[in-house]
């Protein structure tokens, strides 16, 4: 079975974007059909213009396809990515989730596999609370959450059993390392594996 995986994310300055691209690339190499989708930006231009990396990222991704409700309906499995915002999900991703009432009402979000990833500046600044906040929505979908737990040795290195997270450092300039990339690869492989098993394949 070729799993249909939607990677739906928000990123202001590119960190979560890099995580999403890694996840998408790993999934494609594993034979999945992937939709990589950035949600719509909501912040006003004058605020975006105040942060050079934010403007750069918005401009660099402007031509790429944006997430629509159909991307979840289409998918067998969904990975959501959001930067931490005061320990919570970014409003841009939340706005996308909040457009899904009709699909939720028709039961079209249920029985799919879901997991998440995030980034924050500080190690204890909301990496876990953001994922837990995101997962509240998944329960309402009737989704099947597939957290990584400590199901691979890499989880004892990245240390987040709720999903995958990356600390960018106070200046926001620490790039993804080998450990975070390996943790993302593991999350993707686990999500694909469980999705296939749910479809009756092992």
Ligand X SMILES: Cc1cc2nc3c(=O)[nH]c(=O)nc-3n(C[C@H](O)[C@H](O)[C@H](O)COP(=O)(O)O)c2cc1C
Residues that bind ligand X (CB under 6 A): 11-17, 83-87, 119-122, 125-126, 168, 172
Alpha helix ranges (H) inside 42-177: 45-48, 52-60, 69-74, 91-97, 101-105, 127-141, 155-158
Q: How far is CA 158 from the centre of its chain?
A: 16
The smaller minimum CB distance to ligand X, of residues 125 and 194, is found at 125
Cα dihedral 16, 21, 22, 24 sign: positive
- Please, which residue, 3 or 183, has the CB nearer to ligand X? 183
Residue nearest ligand X, Cβ-based? 125
CB 147, min distance to ligand X, A: 20
Min dist. Cβ of residue 31 to ligand X (A): 27
Within 8 A by CB and 6+ apart from 114, the residues are 77, 78, 79, 80, 135, 138, 141, 143, 144, 145, 146
Nearer to ligand X by Cβ, of 122 and 151: the residue is 122
Closer residue to ligand X in complex, CB, 116/143: 116
Closer CB to ligand X, 2 or 122, in the complex: 122
CB of 89 to ligand X, least distance (A): 11
Least separation in angstroms between residue 24's CB and ligand X is 15
Q: How far apart are CA 173 and CA 101, in angstroms?
A: 37
Cβ at position 123, least distance to ligand X in Å: 8
């Amino acid at each position: 079975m070729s799993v249909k995986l939607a990677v739906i994310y928000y990123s202001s300055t590119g960190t979560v974007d890099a995580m999403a691209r890694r996840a998408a690339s790993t999934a494609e190499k594993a034979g999945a059909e992937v939709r990589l989708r950035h949600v719509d930006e909501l912040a006003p231009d004058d605020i975006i213009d105040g942060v050079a990396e934010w403007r750069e990222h918005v401009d660099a991704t402007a031509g790429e396809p944006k997430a629509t409700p159909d991307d979840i309906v289409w998918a067998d499995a969904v990975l959501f990515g959001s930067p931490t915002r005061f320990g919570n999900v970014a409003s841009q991703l939340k706005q996308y989730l909040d457009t899904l009432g009709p699909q939720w009402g028709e039961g079209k979000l249920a029985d799919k596999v879901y997991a998440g990833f995030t980034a924050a500046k500080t190690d204890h600044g909301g990496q876990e609370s953001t994922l837990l906040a995101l997962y509240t929505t998944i329960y309402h979908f009737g989704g099947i959450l597939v957290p990584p737990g400590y199901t691979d040795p890499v989880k004892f290195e990245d240390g987040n059993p709720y999903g995958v997270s990356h600390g960018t450092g106070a200046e926001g300039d620490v790039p993804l390392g080998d450990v975070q990339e390996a943790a993302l690869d593991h999350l993707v492989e686990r999500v694909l594996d469980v999705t296939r098993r749910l479809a009756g394949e092992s």
